[in-house]
Each structure stands twice: as C-alpha cells, then as structure tokens.
Amino acid sequence: MAKNTEIERKFLVASDAFMAQATCHYEIVQGYLCKEAGKTIRIRIRDNQAFLTIKSGKLREGLAKFEWEKEIALEDARELMQLCLPNPIIKTRYIIPINADRKWEVDVFHGHKEGMVLAEIELGDENERFDKPAWLGDEVTGLPQYYNANM
C-alpha cells in the first residue's frame, strides 16, 4: 500500500460479542474543520493524544483514499475543536486483534449517534481476504451515511 493511502472495509455490528475479544478501548472525540465533497479535515482527541487528519474521497475506482495524519499538541486540538462544525463525533473504540498486521476497530457511538456500532478493518490491498467474525453484520463500505464526516 502506498504511503498515505487508506483501504478500509466498514460493517454494521450485529451483537456485542466483540467486547469479549477486545484487548483495549479508548474514548474519541472528533470534530470537522472542513467536510466537503472529496475531502475532510478533522481534529481527533483520543484519550490524551490529539491528531490533525486530512482525508480525500476515493483516489480512483475502488476503496483507496488519501489519508494524512499528524499528532498535534492536546491544547492545540482543544482550541481547534472550538472552530469545528456542530455535532462532534463521540465514540468508544474497541480494538480486536486478528494477527500481527490486522485488527478490527469497533466504534460504539454516543451523543447524537447513540446506539450506532460500526466495525472497520484496514487492508493492505483491496482484494485482501479476511475472516468475518460472527458478530459482524452487513457491509456498509462506501455508503456515505456511514462516513463519520456525514454523521
């Protein structure tokens, strides 16, 4: 996979059985400075770390997207959050390891998206095969209503 390229598949979650497989979890608050067709600029606070992320829409046919992310000072992130669009995303992320290279990230949403639970896996190639755990529901990859920026 090229540097700064993200290939991910996203699914609804059918049960809370994933929690028994999670090795850790953390709290995330993220706000958007910009969300336009084809690009987003986001501030994310994860526990006591903060990040600035720029993402594109699809780079070409398929799943690949450009993603650039840099850690920033927590105080800077808190200040930038004041400039973000309304309704920040608030969620708890659970990490479920698959192997040394892959993991499931399951997001349990709070606030205005309370009750939504999504799982995603980042892949090295669009055709990479992976096992789907029993708690996984329908695939929603590519459906705009499940992009965090659209929530």
Q: Are 109 and 116 in contact (CB under 8 A)?
A: yes
DSSP state of 125: S
Q: How far apart are CA 24 and CA 35, in angstroms?
A: 30
Strands (E), 1-150: 5-6, 8-13, 24-36, 39-46, 49-58, 65-72, 89-97, 103-109, 117-122, 136-139
User: Is 32 among the catalytic positions?
Assistant: yes
CA dihedral 151, 21, 4, 7 (to 10 degrees): -70
Query: Residue 52 — φ and ψ, nearest 5°?
Result: -110, 130
Q: Given 26, 32, 146, 147, which residue is catalytic?
A: 32
Residues annotated as catalytic (active site), given as ranges: 32
